[in-house]
Amino acid sequence: MIDTILTEFMQEQLGQVRLDFIRYKYNQIDWNLRMAGLIGPRGIGKSTLVLQHLWQQKGSQNALYVSADRSYFAQHTLVEVASEFVKEGGTHLYIDEIHKYPSWSTELKEIYDGHPSLHVFFTGSSVLDLLRGQADLSRRAVMFSMQGLSFREYLEMFHQIKMPVYSLDEIIANKVDYSLIPHPLPLFRQYLRDGYYPFSKEGAFFSRLDQVVTQTLESDIPQYASMSVSTGRKLRRLMAIVAKSAPFKPDYSSIANALGVSRNVLPDYLLYMEKAGMIGQLRDETGGIRSLGKVEKVFVDNTNIMYALGTADTNTGNLRETFFYNQTRAVSDVISSKVSDFVIGEHTFEVGGKNKGGKQIEDVPNGHIVKDDIEYGHGRVLPLWTFGLLY
């Protein structure tokens, strides 16, 4: 019989759910898959998304929501819960914070193979890798990835301003309906500072964000990658180095000397930090997919973290590039440009302020100037803020 502790926890969580705003990823997920997972950085609303889905199923008696980081699972296993749940007619099991459960991949495989009628949906940290778990789940689970709020989502969630999603081609063609938001720049500035994470609404934002950064670097990544506590602290120091210099071309030897680690481990450290939503790595034309291609620049993941670490005011240009890369990578493969800042497909983008000239791309086919501090675009000139409407 399912423990009442679990059902009471689920009802308590459902009682706090609101449906006035739903993240972009909701309709991109196939909720009917036998096993699927949603991964993403801490604090971007994965748990809320799952609870919203469960609520919209009218809190079905055939569904159970559990969190793998609860003390309950110090004495019980996920396999035990799944087996009891199926015996009672359960059909849909939702497991939150799966990365907090040591044998997550082995037990998910056992649940999948042992209960063919049970649908399992789980959430976890971005560092989760189905191929590197103790059991290979790549043939069983379909993974979906989510990042923080777009500027468009921020406008809806925080200011009840509903803007449509625009494709990259529509933004390049200046087809944005500017009448829907006559003066976007003040709101855009606020978004850059504290609009990427939904929990900004809860107050004490930068304290909460600092906790997210600390827990990700000193707990989530080390726990997943079997690192020591001291290595986790070195990740925090590495984050400080990145924040101070980003965006920069990585010099592994000098960074390794500063941290007191082998040069050979740094690419792995940076990749873990990238997957966990702490940094972004811009690669060259040999591979636009993450983890492929030579790393040309390392960014702080998003502008909110830049403000939290005190680096946002050091270089406005860095802030602009960070925003552009963060928003466009959600919908496109973004790679470095030999003559400018970014390349997406056949298009080259030069990012700058309102006085930015186009000399660097004047001879580049499909070259565009992305300017901050302007409300409207024209011709090859595109407002930076409009790239926040992509998702």
For the chain, give the percent of residues with pLDDT over 90: 77
Q: Is 283 helix (H, G, I), strand (E, B) or coil?
A: strand
Angstrom distances, CA of residue 26 to CA of 7, 48, 58: 24, 11, 17
In contact, 318 and 242? CB cutoff 8 Å: no
Reported as a single tens digit per residue, the pLDDT across 245-296 is 878 888 999 999 999 999 999 999 999 999 999 999 999 976 544 556 789 9
Query: Low-confidence residues of the chain, pLDDT below 50?
Result: 288-289
Which residues are within 8 A (CB) of 226 and not within 5 positions of it... i.e. 6 or more apart? none
Q: Would you give the DSSP letter of residue 342?
A: E
Q: What's CA 274's distance to the chain center, in Å?
A: 10
Peptide bond into 116 cis (omega under 30): no
- The bridge status of strand 35-39 relative to strand 119-124 is parallel
Helix (H, G, I), strand (E, B) or coil at 37: strand
Strand order in the sheet with 92-96: 63-67, 92-96, 119-124, 35-39, 142-145
What contacts 21, CB < 8 A, 6 or more positions away? 153, 156, 157
pLDDT of residue 288: 45
Which pLDDT belongs to residue 130?
A: 61
Q: What is the pTM of this model?
A: 0.92
Helices 4-14, 46-56: axis angle to 10 degrees equals 100
Distance CA 87, CA 135 (A): 25
Maximum Cα–Cα distance for the chain, whole Å?
Answer: 71
Give which of 135, 144, 128, 122 is closest to 275, Cα–Cα: 128
Q: Tell me the C-alpha distance between 176 and 199, whole Å.
A: 28
Can you give the pLDDT at residue 60?
66
Token digits for 79? 């396999």
